[in-house]
Structure 1
């Protein structure tokens, strides 16, 4: 599986995990956060359990998280 990570702005990256089920969205998110350092990450998922769990997991790890439901998917912003 490929890490679909792309830069979309100054210190902002997008990770598209649509089509993946647990635990892959969380694993890919952790890998992406390690790769981008202190930049903001926007995760796009269409998996309801991931949309529910990612904010909980990363808030517990000390990140700030915002989640927004869009048309058929969720956009989860994660940053320090």
Structure 2
């Protein structure tokens, strides 16, 4: 799968992983974080286990994380 990563504003990128089940949202998120450096990343997922587990894993790695439900998906904001 191609990494659906796009810049949505200065210093903020969006990664759309809807339609992907675990572990792919986490794998794609890690790839995107490496690619964007210190910018903020917003991950969009429709996979409930990913919405639950991604924030836990990322917080353990030292990231700040906010997650909110938006209709049929979640938006997970990640930054250092």
Shorter-normalised TM-score: what interval? over 0.9
Segments of 4+ moved more than 4 angstroms: none
Count of aligned pairs between the two proteins: 80
Gaps of 5+ in 1: none
TM-score (norm 2): 0.99
TM-score where L is the length of structure 1: 0.99
Give the RMSD, CA atoms, in angstroms. 0.3
Q: Which residue of 2 aligns with 1:75?
A: 75
1:7 maps to which residue?
7
CA shift digits 1:27-79 (9 cap, x unpaired) = 00000000000000000000000000000000000000000001100000000
Aligned pairs for 1:20-39 (under 5 A) are 20-39=20-39
